[in-house]
Structure 1
Amino acid sequence: MAETAATLTEIRAGIDVLDRELVCLLARREALVRQAAPLKSDGQAVRAPDRVAQVIARVRTLASEAGADPDLIERIYRGMIQAFIDMETGEHHRRVGAENAVIARGVRAQVAERLSPSGLAEVGGA
């Protein structure tokens, strides 16, 4: 039993090392996704179903070549991709909302100027 515990401890230590590497790689992937997000015009571009299918097909092949279970790797990737899509969608909504707020402020300023006494005099309203 002590040998099993030592082996399990060693295996877990190896998993911890891999987790550190995976998190660093995911952080790099997140940075790239964040760079791509502003280049996408709408929700359809964010979801990019053709790109998702392309990525899934590629990682399934890579999984097979690496001796991993392609179905398991696909499930992991689909979850990761969805998390990044959710992140990008939130970024897109914030960006569009900020752009709309700037436009609305400009429109309000124009309306206020036209409704001011000097603005009304210019258009013959006073």
Structure 2
Amino acid sequence: MKIEECHSLEEVRNHIDRLDDQIVEIIAARNGYVKQAANFKHSIEEIKANERMEAVMDRVRSRAMEFGVSPNLLTKLYTIMIDEMVEAEISEFRNAKSL
């Protein structure tokens, strides 16, 4: 990703705002796929999928290092995101089973 050189604080903030909008959209899309995953799982333990979470974290940490971003920052962000999305997936799973 190319980072443009900015010539004012306003320009920097505009770029950050644009990126924040994209980040939110991408997280929403990820959440939609996570909810769909509930349709393919047979138990709450399968939803929690600790091995998958570890693999995601390893991949994210590796990508963070490639881009010069703190792996610890990404680990913290992904831990929060995954915990919340797992809860949403469990909710979807329970709702589907109650129909």
CA distance in 2, matches of 1:66, 1:86: 30
Partner of 1:41: 42
Partner of 1:57: 58
Question: Percent of pairs identical after alignment?
Answer: 33
CA distance in 2, matches of 1:30, 1:61: 22
SS of 2:42's equivalent in the other structure is: coil
CA distance in 2, matches of 1:51, 1:82: 13
SS of 1:14's equivalent in the other structure is: helix
Question: Which protein has the bigger helix share?
Answer: 1
Aligned positions of 1:1-126 closer than 5 A: 7-98=8-99
TM-score by length of 1: 0.68
Q: CA deviation at 1:11?
A: 2.5
Cα deviation 1:5-53 (Å, max 9, x = unaligned): x944333222110011112211221222122111011111111111000
Which one scores higher on RCO, CA 8 angstroms, separation ≥ 6?
A: 2
SS of 1:67's equivalent in the other structure is: coil
* Structure 1 gaps, min length 5: 1-5, 99-126
Quick check: which has more Rg, 1 or 2?
Answer: 1
Say how many residue pairs are matched.
93
Deviating beyond 2 angstroms after TM superposition, the runs of 4 or more aligned structure 1 residues are 6-12
Letter paired with 2:64: A
* Structure 2 gaps, min length 5: 1-6
